[in-house]
C-alpha cells in the first residue's frame, strides 16, 4: 500500500522514538527534511523519474537554458524540421573538448555534439537552421513531498525504504557510523536489485509533469 507524506513522517517519528527513547522527539521540520532527502536518494538510485524534454533551435545559437532540474542525461537526439536528415543522436563532450572545438569553428552547420553544464545545453556546431528540435532523455529531480496526501512516484513496496534510509541519517546524527554504513549498504543493495525489475525499467513518475517514457 502506498504511503503518504503524512504516514512516512509518522513512521519515521515512531521509529526514531523507539530507537532513541531518551533523545528529543523529531520536529516536524526534521521529519520533513529527512523524509524528502531519503525520497530523493531512493529515487536517484532507482533512476525512476525518467522523462524527456525538448527545445527548439534558433539559427546560429549554440546555448539553450533548460528549466528542468536534471539529475542525469541518458541521451540527446537532434530532430531536424526538414524530412532529411532523419533524427540522429548527439554525442556529449567535456568542457575542454567543447572549448577546443568552438575555437576551431564558429560557423553554423549540422550539429554533432552537445555539452551539459547546469541548466545550460551548448550545441556544436551552432545549428544552421531554426525550428529543429533537440530531445533530451533525462533522469529528472522529482519535486519534494509537500502535502500530507502526497505519495512517492515509485512502486508502493519501496516506500518503507524511504523511512529506513531516513533512519540511517539519524544513526549518522548520533555518531553510529558503522550501523549507518551497514543499513545503507543493505538498502542500496536492495534498490540495485529493484532496478532490474520490469516495473522499475518501465519507469515514469506520475508526479512529474514533463513528458515521460
pLDDT averaged per 10 residues, the chain (length 213): 95 96 94 96 87 93 90 92 89 86 74 91 93 93 92 92 95 93 92 71 49 50
State the Cα–Cα distance between residues 54 and 184, nearest whole angstrom.
36
DSSP secondary structure code for residue 8 in this structure: H
Contact 154, 48 (CB under 8 A): yes
pLDDT for the residue 105: 64
Structural domain boundaries in the chain: 5-48+142-202, 50-140
pLDDT for the residue 100: 78
Listed in sequence order, the residues at least 6 apart from 132 whose beta carbon sits closer than 8 Å to its beta carbon are 56, 57, 78, 79, 80, 81, 111
pLDDT for the residue 161: 95
pLDDT for the residue 209: 43
Among the residues of the chain, which ranges form H helices?
5-19, 28-46, 95-104, 159-173, 177-194, 198-202
| Residue with the three cell numbers 519515521 | 12
pLDDT for the residue 207: 44
> Could you tell me the three cell numbers for 44?
536517484
Amino acid at each position: 500500500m502506498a504511503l503518504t507524506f503524512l504516514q512516512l513522517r509518522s513512521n519515521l517519528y515512531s521509529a526514531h522514538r523507539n530507537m532513541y527513547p531518551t533523545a528529543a522527539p523529531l520536529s516536524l521540520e526534521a521529519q520533513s527534511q529527512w523524509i524528502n532527502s531519503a525520497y530523493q536518494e531512493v529515487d536517484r538510485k532507482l533512476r525512476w523519474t525518467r522523462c524527456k524534454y525538448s527545445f527548439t533551435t534558433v539559427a546560429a545559437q549554440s546555448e539553450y537554458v533548460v528549466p528542468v532540474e536534471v539529475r542525469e542525461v541518458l541521451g540527446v537526439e537532434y530532430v531536424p524540421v526538414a524530412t532529411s536528415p532523419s533524427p540522429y543522436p548527439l554525442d556529449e563532450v567535456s568542457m575542454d573538448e567543447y572549448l577546443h572545438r568552438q575555437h576551431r569553428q564558429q560557423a553554423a552547420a549540422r550539429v554533432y555534439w552537445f555539452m551539459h553544464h547546469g541548466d545550460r545545453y551548448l550545441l556544436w556546431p551552432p545549428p544552421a537552421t531554426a525550428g529543429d528540435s533537440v530531445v533530451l532523455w533525462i533522469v529528472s529531480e522529482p519535486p519534494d513531498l509537500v502535502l500530507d496526501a502526497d505519495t512517492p512516484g515509485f512502486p508502493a513496496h519501496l516506500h518503507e525504504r524511504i523511512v529506513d534510509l531516513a533512519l540511517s541519517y539519524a544513526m549518522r546524527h548520533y555518531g553510529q557510523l558503522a550501523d549507518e554504513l551497514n543499513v545503507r549498504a543493505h538498502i542500496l543493495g536492495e534498490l540495485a536489485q529493484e532496478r532490474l525489475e520490469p516495473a522499475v525499467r518501465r519507469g515514469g513518475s506520475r508526479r512529474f509533469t514533463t513528458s515521460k517514457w
